[in-house]
Chain A
Amino acid sequence: MNVIEVKGVKKDYPLGKTTVQALKGIDLVVETGAFLSIVGPSGSGKTTLLNIIGCIDTPTAGTVKIQDEEITALPEQTITDLRLHKIGFIFQNFNLIPVLNVRENVEFPLLLMKNQPRALIDSRVKELVRGVGLIDQIEQRPAELSGGQRQRVAIARALVTNPEIILADEPTANLDSETSESILQLMRQLNQSEKTTFIFSTHDPEVLKHANSIIQLRDGLLVGAGVV
């Protein structure tokens, strides 16, 4: 079953008096449970494609469907709600909220959903924090954690709402190779256990060995796709 369908997506950015074509017409279908890697050099359009799939950016042309629902024309409030319920984000710079501790950062999306029973929030958060190996650091703030630990917190936060899709933009770019390896293993493990679709961008060849499918972008065009 397809979780994402991208058709003819283009994205233009104004840059001074000129326009930069970040995406020049992308067609892509992602199946549920995929562990898809988007590869390509810097400026190839990886982040732009992830942002459009993640509903935080809109395409200049083309359509995006998530679970058969066309999302490009939805009102802002509905799109925000869709992000909350169906999509999890993992950022290159972790983007944790510095004034909240590990537990609070992880439960943040659940609190945004409102009316979630406290007991359910607590058990889900503990389960995930334990899953990412940070149960002993649960009351610590991001500043007290290493880069790898922060990214684990970000992964737990992305997973806490049981989203359909997790989008990770260069998740290991700021980590050393050993930590990167463990993070990718964790993502793969969660992909298999939680049946969540992972799409991540990277230009690290080491990362690619974990993917079960790969697409390659160059100059805003899809130049290759394959299954590992």
Chain B
Amino acid sequence: MGLVFLLSYRNLLRQKRRNFFLGIGIGFGMMILVVANAFSHGMVEVLLNDIVANAFGHLVIQGNQGHSFFSMISDKERILAIVQDTIKTDELLYINENLGMFGRAVGNGEAGNIMVAGVTVEDQLVREEFFNNFFTLVTGNFEDYFSTEIEYPVIISAAKAKSLNVQLHDVIKMRLPMITGRIQAVKLTVIAIVNANNTFMDVVMFMDGQRVKELLGYHPWDSASLQIALKDPQRTAAYYAELLHARLKPNLISIIGQVGNQGGQLLAFQNNAQAKQLLKEKITMISGETEKAFSQSGVMVSHQLAQKLHLKPGEDFYYQYQTKYRGFHQEKLTLNAVYDSNTRLGGDIILLNEERVHPFYHQYLPADSNWNYITANNPLHGIMATEWKLLDRSRDSQALRKKYREERQLQTSQPKLDVLTMYEGASDILKLEGVLNSITMIVVLVLFFIILLGVVNTLRMTIKERTREIGTIRAIGMQRNDVRNLFMLETLFLTTISCLAGILLGMIAIKLLGTIEFDLNNAFSIILKNSRLYFKINPTALITSFLLILGMAALAAYFPARKAANLLAVEALRHYE
């Protein structure tokens, strides 16, 4: 094989000019491929890591109450505890609440729609990342971000400040919808004007997360969606999403409380027809109106409890319980029916339709519950309502949108909880990279097809010129396979050297293109990083492209090389140019 290598290498140098031009073609194609791959990979990284990850987090726990536009998790502490217990400390960067206000803002004679993002920067890491990497300060002072003497301090981009015609310390008036549906008017004070490192940040104003939370009407124990930033999201995001999903399974609704001095546990049944039918089969009505009892506002009490309370259908009573965060809560209920039961529901039980429970349950979370009163193996378990609905994990953005669309159509006040990673939340962006790479690949393959026609042609010419030489080496004793390998190796040498040169040139081109500064103010600028194109080489894609081109070259060289190998020595020796 050493001899074949030596001959291939020497023959390659023998026709310098011809091989040089062919090499330029292959190298040029490879260079385009390198630049295009790095561009699409870099663009996706900007979109995914700088925009999607910053705006939504690597991992998101999202809650929705009924049909509210805002994300809402009603027991932040409990969810946070689960998250902190699930994700290893050394793999977690930070957890942040994703708080955003959208509304109409008026500056000095100019108005526009704006988004105010709430960023809590208690964590030192978040603080450094936020102030050092997100922006470049043009004027103002970041320390004022925390000032309690300034009315709602905000950081604004120079572009947005210009569009609203505001300067440092000017006031921006804003009308924004709260989570309750009310519209609130606020005055925001500009404490810093900055240049953002990407266009997406240009359109957002930033305010302390806790203040945004207050303005939107969240309780301190509520949370908007939780953004979780991980150290190695590519490796761990999906894993932790699955783990969190498993650990965020809801419990059955249970409130330990009392009516007057009589203790009683409040449970809820599901509002769907199937669950209601099954429940009807399990319990026997003694008095009252079955229809009303199973309606959305339905309230039933066990016969045992009704007797203790001397309650009759149609009468009102007050159910009182200790809440987790807001002292005692008293809920006025109207009894629709009394049931007898030999099931687990036969004790001191108040049984409500879940649609009657959710509105107050999440406002006034109970301090005491008995989540295991009805165990998983109890046939009643599938009938009873859960605290929230844990949405199935989604494969990609398309599945996610479909899931949310279907959920919106359900008429229920049951809160929903979803766990998603930016990879499925923004899978369209990941697909975009695939699409861009495919387009590049098709263009480059066409280019290479043309180049490889050159390879075939060159090889045919070479073989014709060296026919007598082939005759000689065959006569001396070289086997056919070695002759074939000789010509294939020549092509592969040329392709390898040209591709490596192409990769090198591509890297130089990337460096040069990356230095050009763009002054754009359109949709294109979203893919820029610090006003420059951002390239990132994807080694896997690079190696794949390289191997693909080598494969194509080998295929192109195979047939002429085989033809050379099959030449009869006697005829080849007789050949004259």
- Could you say which residues of chain A place their CB within 8 Å of the CB of B478? 80, 112
Smallest CB–CB gap between B566 and chain A, Å? 10
Asked whether A97 lies within 8 Å of B7 as measured between CB atoms, the reply is: yes
Main secondary structure of the interface of B (DSSP, over half): helix
B68 interface residue per 8 A CB criterion: no
Which residue of chain A lies nearest to B576 when distances are taken between CB atoms in the complex? A93
Instruction: State A51–B474 Cα separation when bound (angstroms).
Output: 13
A99–B477 alpha-carbon span in the complex (Å):
18
Q: How far is the CA of A97 from the CA of B8 in the complex (A)?
A: 12
B479 close to chain A: CB less than 8 A = yes
B476 and A84 contact, CB distance less than 8 A: yes
Q: Within residues 475 to 495 of chain B, which ones have a CB less than 8 A from any CB in chain A?
A: 475-480, 482
Cα distance A89–B6 in the bound complex, in angstroms: 22
Contact between B480 and A83, CB atoms less than 8 A apart:
no
B561 within 8 A of A: no
Q: Are A56 and B570 in contact (CB under 8 A)?
A: yes
Q: Are B7 and A99 in contact, CB atoms less than 8 angstroms apart? A: yes
Contact for B476 among A83, A93, A98, A99, CB less than 8 A: A83
Q: Are B473 and A84 in contact (CB under 8 A)?
A: no
Interface-centre pick from A97, A109, A157 (highest chain B CB count, 10 A): A97
The verdict on A76 contacting chain B, using a C-beta distance below 8 Å, is yes
Contact (Cβ within 8 A) B10 A100: yes
Contact with A along B132-170 (1 / 0, CB 8 A): 000000000000000000000000000000000000000
Whether B375 sits at the interface, judged by CB under 8 Å, is no
The distance from the CB of B4 to the nearest CB of chain A, in whole angstroms, is 9
- A112 and B7 within 8 A (CB): no
From 21 to 51 in chain A, residues with beta carbon under 8 angstroms from any chain B beta carbon are: 51
Bin the interface of chain A by size: 20 to 34
Contact A91 B14 (CB under 8 A): no
Select A99's contact among B14, B472, B482, B570, beta carbons within 8 Å.
B14
As a 0/1 sequence over residues 76 to 110 of chain A, the CB contacts with chain B under 8 angstroms (1 = contact) are 11001101110001010101011110001000110
**A85 and B475 alpha carbons, distance in the complex (Å):** 11
A111 located at the interface, meaning its Cβ lies under 8 Å from any Cβ of chain B in the complex? yes
A71 to B27, CA, bound (A): 49
A-chain residues with CB within 8 Å of residue B303 when the two chains form the complex? none
Please tell me if the beta carbons of A112 and B480 are within 8 angstroms of each other in the complex. Answer: no
Contact A108 B476 (CB under 8 A): yes
Q: Is B349 an interface residue (CB 8 A)?
A: no
Closest beta carbon of chain A to B314's beta carbon, Å: 104
Chain B contact patch, size range = 20 to 34
- Asked if B2 and A81 sit within 8 Å, CB to CB, the answer is no
Considering the chains assembled together, what is the distance between the CA atoms of A10 and B242 in angstroms?
82
**Number of inter-chain CB pairs below 8 Å:** 65
Judge whether A80 and B7 touch: CB under 8 Å: no
Tell me, rounded to whole Å, the shortest Cβ–Cβ distance linking A184 to chain B: 22
> Bound complex: CA of A71 vs CA of B93, how far in Å?
79
- Distance to closest chain B CB from A43 (angstroms): 14
CB distance from B489 to the nearest CB of A (A): 14
Q: Are the CB atoms of B472 and A51 closer together than 8 Å? A: no
Task: Assess whether A70 is interfacial by the CB under 8 Å rule.
Answer: no
Supposing A84-B477, A89-B476, A108-B476 touch, asked if A56 and B14 sit within 8 A by C-beta, the answer is no
CB of B50 closer than 8 Å to a CB of A: no
- Residue B365 is within 8 A (CB to CB) of chain A in the complex: no
Q: How far is the CA of A57 from the CA of B14 in the complex (A)?
A: 30
Q: Which residues of B contact A97 (CB under 8 A)?
A: 7, 469, 472-473
- Over the window 551-574 of chain B, the binary record of Cβ atoms lying under 8 Å from chain A Cβ atoms (1 yes, 0 no) is 000000000000000001110010
Contact with A along B118-144 (1 / 0, CB 8 A): 000000000000000000000000000
Contact flag A54-B475 (CB < 8 Å), given A91-B573, A108-B3, A111-B2? yes
Q: Cβ of B570 and Cβ of A89 under 8 Å apart? A: no
| Least distance between B429 CB and chain A CB atoms (Å) | 53
Contact partner, A98, options B2, B6, B14, B473, Cβ 8 Å? B14
Q: Which residue of the partner chain B has the closest CB to A99?
A: B10
B11 within 8 A of A: yes
Chain A residues 189-213 with CB under 8 Å of chain B are: none
CA distance A77 to B565 in the complex (A): 12
Q: List B contacts of A100 (CB < 8 A).
A: 6-7, 10
In the complex the two chains form, what is the Cα distance from A45 to B469 in whole Å?
23
Knowing A99-B7, A99-B11, A100-B10 touch, does A109 contact B573 (C-beta < 8 A)?
no
**Is B468 in contact with chain A by the CB < 8 A criterion?**
yes
Closest 8 pairs between A and B when the two form their complex, measured CB to CB: A84-B477, A99-B10, A95-B472, A57-B570, A111-B3, A56-B569, A56-B570, A83-B477
14 further interface pairs, Cβ-Cβ under 8 Å (given A77-B479, A97-B7): A57-B570, A76-B480, A80-B474, A80-B477, A81-B477, A84-B476, A84-B477, A93-B468, A99-B11, A99-B14, A108-B476, A111-B3, A112-B3, A113-B477
